[in-house]
Structure 1
Amino acid sequence: TKTPDAAYHCSLFYLYPMFIFLMGLEDKVLVFPYETDFSYVALIPQKEMALKAFTLCMRVATELPEERQIILFAYRTADYDELNVWREKDGRVSFYMSGDGSFFHLPPLTTFRTSLCLTWESRTGLAAFWVEGKRSTYQVYKPGHTIRPKGTVLLGQDPDKHLGGLEAVQSFVGEVTDLNMWDFVLSRSMIQAWHYGHKVPKGNIFDWATIDYELSGNVMVVDDD
């Protein structure tokens, strides 16, 4: 696994002094019990996130009402929201890459865990969400685009500027587990295998079992029982 360099580590400590650096979340769940403007988990990628394609998967549960906007995943560089995944106020699930987003009508997120994946590739712009191993219709979104590296990935909060500008009304409340990310689009069979808990190639950007992460605020790490 990749260890964050000293400059990054020190800058994060300066802005958010109450954090704990940890490694590996195999058989663990992140619990965000309260709405806050300060609780988050920073994920440290294993490689630079200069991406022309990706698959992002996670298992997520929440009891927040559908009319409440929720950030599910946020990756921001100094000037741009490089990759943000949201549940919108109207219940749709969306993702944004440096500008206007792409919106999908999916089964609702509930108190019961949902397996959720997102795939995108730059060559064609084809993007889709996968819920419980089933693919949404494709949308074409930002063909030719490249996600830029040297940013910060947060769970639980949406930074409106780099490592700042957090808002409680957008925070995530609920549980996240088994988050993995690859720098390519997984096949249908691989996404379905991941959904059912079968062995798949380890995420080469984020692998839940070995992931490096930093906790801040009221976030709990509990056994996945």
Structure 2
Amino acid sequence: MKQLLVLLAAFCAGHAVQTDLSEKVFSFPVPSSTAAVKLVPYSEEPLRALTMCMRFFSSLTRAQSLFSLAVPSQSNAFLLYKPSVGVYRLHVSGVSLELSGMPDDLTEWNSVCWTWDSTHGLTTLWVNGKRSDRKILAAKASLSGAPSIILGQEQDTYGGGYDQAQSFGGDITDVHLWSSVISPCEIRSFMDGGAFTPGNLLNWKNMQYSIAGPVYMEPRDFDKLSCF
């Protein structure tokens, strides 16, 4: 009875559920201006450093959003956007930079980690075990207010403003978010599918989320990532 009441409470609170998503993927099979997954972080404290890691599988060559975090004062507070094959655009607090020549596989899973520290604005992107040069982005910035975190869409407004032309197509799994810059060894372990400390803001093994539009939860394929 207690479990039933918890599930009913989650349903009434915007259909949010909290569960272990190990070996699960969110699948976005068609272009859509409504398909989105909202992730609920564990904390709403001001953010001055972040690491986000995820895996995605997509054959799209057009622009698409991979991870969108907005705060009430800034829709592009922490946005990982992919304009084209091998090109990633990083946005922090409305400031952006573009990285080209990054690894990109249209037929396999891609593992991505992105670190940012506001102290000096140092930011680094890791894709499939290869890292970018360190760059400076939004030094001294602080991301304040309740984060709105969306998979599958870019937020042009806080919690909305979706554009089908920027929607993600494919599968997403293993999303973690930390309120610090994690070590290169932890990043390498994530990339290799080994043991690592789960995110303290988002943890794929204990995630609260809600789904809108044509998004489907599916078992992850039995590839090398599924066998660790």
TM over 0.5, yes or no?
yes
In structure 1, the residue matched to 2:226 is none
What does 1:83-122 align with in structure 2 at a 5 Å threshold? 83-89=78-84, 91-105=86-100, 106-122=102-118
Preserved contact between residue 82 and residue 148 of structure 1 (Cα < 8 Å): no
In structure 1, the residue matched to 2:205 is 209
SS in 1 for 2:188: helix
Displacement, 1:112? 1.1
Displacement, 1:22? 4.4
Displacement, 1:28? 0.7
Aligned-pair Cα RMSD in Å? 1.9
Amino acid at match of 1:93: Y
What does 1:1-225 align with in structure 2 at a 5 Å threshold? 13=14, 21-65=17-61, 68-80=62-74, 81-89=76-84, 91-105=86-100, 106-224=102-220, 225=222
Query: What CA deviation, in whole Å up to 9, does each residue of 1:97-117 have, x standing for no partner?
Result: 222301111122523111100
Distance 1:125 1:104 in 2: 16
SS in 1 for 2:104: coil
- TM-score of the aligned structures, taking structure 2 as reference length: 0.86
The size of the alignment, in residue pairs, is 210
The verdict on how the C-alpha distance between 1:49 and 1:95 changes in structure 2, with shifts beyond 3 A counting, is farther
Displacement, 1:214? 0.4
Distance 2:105 2:81 in 1: 11
Distance 2:136 2:25 in 1: 33
Query: What CA deviation, in whole Å up to 9, does each residue of 1:59-114 have, x standing for no partner?
Result: 1111112xx21111111123312111100147520111222301111122523111
SS in 2 for 1:190: helix
Where does the alignment leave 5 or more consecutive residues of structure 1 unmatched?
14-18
In structure 2, the residue matched to 1:16 is none
Distance 1:89 1:156 in 2: 16
Preserved contact between residue 112 and residue 126 of structure 2 (Cα < 8 Å): yes
Distance 1:63 1:74 in 2: 20
The verdict on how the C-alpha distance between 1:129 and 1:217 changes in structure 2, with shifts beyond 3 A counting, is same
Distance 1:108 1:173 in 2: 15
The verdict on how the C-alpha distance between 1:20 and 1:206 changes in structure 2, with shifts beyond 3 A counting, is closer
Where does the alignment leave 5 or more consecutive residues of structure 2 unmatched?
1-5, 223-228
Query: What CA deviation, in whole Å up to 9, does each residue of 1:25-59 have, x standing for no partner?
Result: 11111110010000100000011252111110001
In structure 1, the residue matched to 2:225 is none
Distance 2:108 2:33 in 1: 25
The verdict on how the C-alpha distance between 1:198 and 1:89 changes in structure 2, with shifts beyond 3 A counting, is closer
Amino acid at match of 2:204: W
Distance 1:163 1:71 in 2: 14
- TM-score of the aligned structures, taking structure 1 as reference length: 0.87
